Amino acid sequence: IKKQQQDVLGFLEANKIEFEEKDIAANEENRKWMRENVPEDSRPASGNPLPPRLFNDSRYLGDYEAFFEARENNAVYAFLGLTAPPGSKVGVRVSHSKP
């Protein structure tokens, strides 16, 4: 999980995409918000959804696998729901867990 989180955050930082981290390990409110906002069809069969999960405001975008696939297909901005002008800064929310 930690490696995936670092991968997402590193990509966002390198591309100057503003984001807000939400630590779900240390903050029960963040954990509850993430669990409530991950759609039913994107939740695991048992247990709770694990980070990292990406949102654009409260709109669920996907998990790490969806982010990775979008990055591999050069479609991260579309995945994030952002326009891709050079040097643009647009905010997204990343729910994660700090060990």
First to last CA, the chain: 10
**pTM to 2 decimals?**
0.81
Distance CA 5, CA 49 (A): 14
pLDDT by residue, tens only, the chain of 99 residues: 999 999 999 999 998 889 999 999 999 999 999 999 999 999 999 998 999 999 999 999 999 999 999 998 888 999 999 887 665 444 456 666 665
**Number of neighbouring beta carbons within 10 Å of residue 75:** 12
Domains within the chain, CATH numbers bracketed: 1-98 (3.40.30.10)
Provide CB contacts within 8 A for 37, sequence distance 6+.
55, 58, 60
